Structure 1
């Protein structure tokens, strides 16, 4: 179909909407819960902030398949544009929340954009050639991280504007809603992107093509799927026929083992990612770092920037050492990373916060943490090659998506609650029970990754029709 640079830049901007808009709340959400009276003790805030974060993930997971069905019926563009607009509305609601219920409802509302990321990727496939697609998908990943780089420090820096900029924000409104400004900035960005998307984006959904198929069996699935169009390289909605394999027919042992590894990888990733703002916010004497909202936002933005930098050499390392070995190495880096979190607290307790040693350990932590991002890219490469046929690609990727999304719905609440329990019962392992558990779980996930096999099927027809085992199971 082809695309213009304007359309590509608009898609990149829309891809960054969710990370820019919603990541901006993380530097201040814990303090917000204290100030609106949800909790009174900083040691208990983790239980409640985890639920705020998990609620969005649950809503996103639920919205994926309905949004995809709507996109197949009415087009990709309406889903993408309206999702961005709804995110903007939800941000306004979150910034003016005065109760825990309103915070939760705002997050649920924002989570309905869950299907837009899939629609953006489908639109990219339909408007680009095969050689262009991988490059554009890489740009989408960079755009998502850039949204974090910009959104997180804004969330920290613009919280309580009546204190930071008393000459400009003198109205009683800002005293009543001290977290409205960063949310309004995120909402404005989302709404502007939705408006530009409505003007610029061109619909890529093609008319449905009919498929002549044998008489279906009584239990035939009549749902509509996105399958590759072999003649154009694009995705068009087609009626599911016998050529679409069932989950049971493609769920081989190597795939099942990979899916299990993905669940473990995502769990530990979101355990730590959701807990870090709480860890950074918690006073030093309770096991945290005692940082301000602005400092937390800067830390999170720095880490996102490092992830962008470490993404650049990924393809070279993957070509040289193999995607499975890169995946294993990426998972392994969680083990030393986890050790550094309590070490930072120990240094701070000794009065070394902000010193050379403290920043050196923090820098090493952020670098190792960034390398763990390679696992996400590796998973898509490994799972793609596990497809025995072009018809099975969508089925397998759908299973991978479930393995990715489901842990995101439970990990934030579990992680922050476990950390809160750890510091509440500080007599157990010196308050480091959470980190000991994460260390053991990280080691388990890594050891399991050693059992994976990188079985490559030539479903594109470029070599042979037989599977090739590039790394046999141990």
Structure 2
């Protein structure tokens, strides 16, 4: 039924109609949905127990989505499907997109099933799907197995949409913002903790050789451990879901039950400045209304999809950018470094959502918070190319702050849109409505990693092809960092030590000539041939060089540990030398022309630095053709 009236003189009539409607609520003893409604009616406190269960289940759904990002670059590299290092991001995008593409195909179906058979069966089935297919993904031995398991995981894990409906149904109206905040907080933390787990636990035989042997299961499958941890957690969530109360009404008289989470009259009464006619619609069964014609629902879904496309592309590109070599505009982070940044972001996000977001939302409203977040995102992301110019402690602080702020903004926007979507429909439509939202969002998220990975791969390829010759052109698009400028001043070029790279042509090992490698890399002033050649090891804290040869040019190939390389350069103001850091996962080729001092210092606490030195003259230590102990500060 519907009633029309005017705000103002007939306001009391409308209010009386509302109160009368609430008195007509009818509960059925054997209906689990009615039990939840009765609990909401008789208990005015926040449903802490139910919201805790929601938090745990959503965390379970979020962890497998992003746990692969820190190690995806290395997984694709180990599959040996990429012919060039710059192509790794291209293939990584397809692995990242497979999950979302699968979820896009089935989310509406899972929503309809949740509306017909209940939220609980869909949630439990999704938890078990994570246990099975996330484990298989960790055991992937080739590119197509990885894509297939991610696709099946996305297709069969349809729990997130029903969980959003569930969170709004267990809360009284005054606590619905809290319920959606719990959803988005758990989701955001899962998207941060997931990469942290992947970053710290991937390749355990390399990171923790005292605990994990290379011949063990985790040595043969270097990306299995983080997937296994998440699968074990999901198994625990599956058991917890057995005690999850159902919220869907099991009787047929849907029009006689007041759904507290949907009330267009109350929404209208909250807008005190409206003087136009008010239309009061009694809740109906889902089959009587077309969701696609519900503009409040569809508009919030469209905005939600745009932000999720952006956020998913950012999530993948951030990790790939962080682990990419500095010569390609990255940070040369290890997977553990990326995990540390995302762990800090997760903790900060938890504090913000629990302590500050409810206050902000109550004062500004969900729409205003979303608008402010969208505006702030633009300058924040524009600053990332400049972050790559930083080093040391400054880089650590700025990267962590930027990552935290980005996650806070994203979760704040998402929470507001969740509220708008679930308030726009009745309970009988909520599963299908969230299914539409999930399908549309998943399509956007599927496009995000693929497009983002392809874009990053293209940029990296152009960076590698242009090298120092195209540095001015590249800086116009990419804001080339001073790290690359320092490499130029130090007469050095660095690249990844793993396949594929200029020194790793195939799986048999390194094959290169130091002189030709320097020439092909654009390093000038080194040895023209190898009259004398030597191989050396520099232990942690030790140094080699710190001298100046007048009778020979020298070319170096350096690898193995975090190493400081210093080269005399009178064009560097104040210091008179250029100094760069070579990371443990990098190989550097450098040249020291005759009459130029150089030094290598191992600053790694554990690993040894190795180098090959090639000289085009014979150094006689007895004669005065060399200066030693040039720099007193080393």
Alignment of 1:74-113 (within 5 A): 74-113=117-156
Flag the 1:117–1:280 CA change in 2: closer, same or farther, 3 A.
Answer: same
SS at match of 1:204: coil
Q: SS of the counterpart of 2:211?
A: coil
Q: Does 1:366 align with 2:403?
A: yes
Partner of residue 89, structure 2: 46
The CA distance in 2 between the partners of 1:182 and 1:389, in whole Å, is 39
SS at match of 1:10: helix
Q: CA deviation at 1:345?
A: 2.0
Shift of 1:229: 4.5
CA distance in structure 2 between the partners assigned to 1:86 and 1:12 by the alignment? 19
Q: Which residue of 2 aligns with 1:376?
A: 414
Any idea what the Cα deviations from partners look like across 1:125-147, whole Å, max 9, x if unmatched?
44443334432332233223333
- Offset, 1:188: 0.7
- Rounded Cα–Cα distance in structure 2 between residues aligned with 1:172 and 1:354: 36
Aligned pairs for 1:64-83 within 5 A: 64-83=107-126
- Could you tell me whether the CA contact under 8 Å between 1:306 and 1:370 is conserved in 2? no
Higher relative contact order, chain-length normalized (CA < 8 Å, sep 6+): 1
CA drift at 1:181? 1.1
Q: Is 2:246 the partner of 1:203? A: yes
Relative distance call for 1:196 and 1:371 in structure 2 (3 A) is closer
Give the gaps of 5 or more residues in structure 1: 213-227, 348-352, 437-474
Residue 92 of structure 1: how far off its partner (Å): 1.1
CA contact 1:155–1:297 (8 Å) conserved in 2: yes
The alpha-carbon distance between structure 1 residues 207 and 388, as it changes in their structure 2 partners (threshold 3 A), is closer
Query: Aligned partners of 2:460 and 2:122: how far apart in 1?
Result: 43
Structure (1/2) with the larger strand percentage: 2
RMSD: 3.4
Question: By how many angstroms is 1:291 displaced?
Answer: 0.7
2:237 pairs, out of 193, 204, 220, with 193
1:409 aligns with 2:409: no
Corresponding residue number in structure 1 for 2:459: 422
Q: Secondary structure at the match of 1:346?
A: coil
- 1:270 paired residue number: 312
Aligned-pair CA distance for 1:8:
4.5
Cα shift at 1:402: 5.2
Counting only pairs closer than 5 Å after superposition, residues 120-199 of structure 1 correspond to structure 2 as 120-170=163-213, 171-198=215-242
| Displacement of 1:431 | 5.8
CA distance change for structure 1 residues 119 and 251 in 2, over 3 Å: closer, same or farther?
Answer: closer
User: Given the two structures, how large is their TM-score scaled by the length of structure 1?
Assistant: 0.75
* 1:155-304 aligned within 5 A: 155-170=198-213, 171-198=215-242, 200-209=243-252, 229-230=257-258, 239-242=285-288, 244-245=289-290, 247-248=292-293, 250-251=294-295, 261-304=303-346
Query: Given the two structures, how large is their TM-score scaled by the length of structure 2?
Result: 0.58
Shift of 1:5: 6.0
What's the CA shift string for 1:75-117, capped at 9, x where partnerless?
Answer: 2212111111111111111111001111011101211355311
Aligned positions of 1:320-469 closer than 5 A: 320-347=363-390, 353-356=391-394, 358-373=395-410, 374-381=412-419, 401=438, 403-426=440-463, 427=466, 429-430=473-474, 433=477
**Of Structure 1 and Structure 2, which has the larger fraction of its residues in helix?**
1
Structure 1 residues 32 and 400: CA distance shift in structure 2, 3 A:
closer
CA contact (8 A) 1:15 1:140 kept: yes
C-alpha distance in 2, partners of 1:197/1:384?
Answer: 22
- Structure 1: distance between partners of 2:433 and 2:191: 29
C-alpha spacing 1:388/1:13, structure 2 compared with 1 (3 Å): closer
Matched, 1:305 2:347: yes
Looking at structure 2, the residues matched to 54 and 137 of structure 1 have their Cα atoms a distance apart, in angstroms, of: 26
Q: By how many angstroms is 1:27 displaced?
A: 1.1
Q: Give the drift of 1:30.
A: 0.8
* CA spacing shift, 1:104–1:142, aligned 2, 3 Å: same
Q: Give unpaired runs (5+ residues) of structure 2.
A: 1-34, 40-46, 264-282, 481-634
Shift of 1:379: 2.8
Are the counterparts in 2 of residues 68 and 118 from structure 1 also a CA contact under 8 Å?
yes
Q: Is the 8 A contact 1:245 1:392 kept in 2?
A: no
Whether the 8 Å contact between 1:289 and 1:345 is mirrored in structure 2 is yes
Deviation at 1:370, TM superposition (A): 3.0
**Contact 1:333–1:369 (CA under 8 A) maintained in structure 2:** no
In structure 1, distance between residues paired with 2:336 and 2:103: 28
CA-to-aligned-CA distance 1:217-246 (integer Å, 9 cap, x gap)? xxxxxxxxxxx94256589x975454x245
Q: How many residues align?
A: 408
Distance 1:76 1:159 in 2: 34
The whole-number CA distance in structure 1 between the counterparts of 2:85 and 2:185 is: 35
The alpha carbon displacement at 1:122 in A equals 2.6
Secondary structure at 2:317 match in 1: helix
Work out whether residues 59 and 108 of structure 1, in 8 Å CA contact, stay in contact via their aligned partners in 2: yes
Separation in structure 2 between the aligned mates of residue 138 and residue 127 of structure 1, nearest angstrom: 14
Counterparts in 2 of 1:127 and 1:344: CA distance versus 1, 3 Å = closer
1:297 Cα offset (Å): 1.3
Partner of 2:21: none
Could you say what secondary structure the match of 1:94 adopts?
A: helix
Q: Distance in 2 between matches of 1:407 and 1:298?
A: 28
